[in-house]
Amino acid sequence: MLSSSVLKVSVLTTLIWCLLSAAEAALLGGNCKQNSDCNAKLSECNVHHEICTCKPYSVEANSTTCLPGSLLGFSCETDAQCRIKVPTSGCVNGVCACGDGYVAYRRHTCLAPSKLGDVCFENEQCTLADKASYCKFVVPKVFGRCQCQVGKEFSDIMHKCVGTNTRELSSFFTLTLITNATAGILFYFIFSDDDLVKRPYSVEKDKSDCKSHSI
């Protein structure tokens, strides 16, 4: 009778242990020996650490679910889903999109702005850096380099593409500043000697001399 009770307890203990092990394996971070031990969606067994983890290009949503990575334009729930496949992207209104200051290129890349002379793949790359520039394609619809738009020229002073009139105005403005600054420096060196400090006394002395002469 006693042995029968012990057997029942042993079987029950084993069953509980199996259930707990199965529940633990179902969770991400649970112990495992093979992929079948992991029950979470899109999970697998990391054989080196013997724990359940999300498969490559998927991200952990919670302890029981891994979400698939998403390319630009595809649905998403978290920023991590987008960034795991396309750096500098995020989940915007349920869809993966490039972050501010970046341009979407097909489905897999967010392009940074390109300066004049830099390689470009989209016109928007150039206009982000300079609104008066565009991508002049070397190979049509493949790649090119950023250049000033027709009727615009690069200004060494303003460091951007400008129209001729704007460029001339900028040059004139800069020349005026230089002229005024030069005049100010010359004025300082001419009148900043000791005579300028003594001048008020000299003027009063001259006035007294004039009065003595008039008497």
Distance of CA 133 to CAs 113, 124, 129, 191, Å? 11, 9, 8, 49
For 9, the enclosing helix (H) or strand (E) is helix 2-26
Q: Is residue 140 part of a domain?
A: yes
What gap in Å lies between CA 202 and CA 15, rounded to an integer? 114
Q: Is residue 201 part of a domain?
A: no
Q: Is residue 130 part of a domain?
A: yes
Q: Is residue 134 part of a domain?
A: yes
Q: Is residue 137 part of a domain?
A: yes
Residue ranges of the chain whose pLDDT lies below 70: 1-26, 164-215
Q: Is residue 180 part of a domain?
A: yes
- Token digits for 131? 């609104």
Range of the domain at 181: 113-191
What gap in Å lies between CA 79 and CA 90, rounded to an integer? 4
Number of domains within the chain:
1
In this prediction the pTM is 0.60
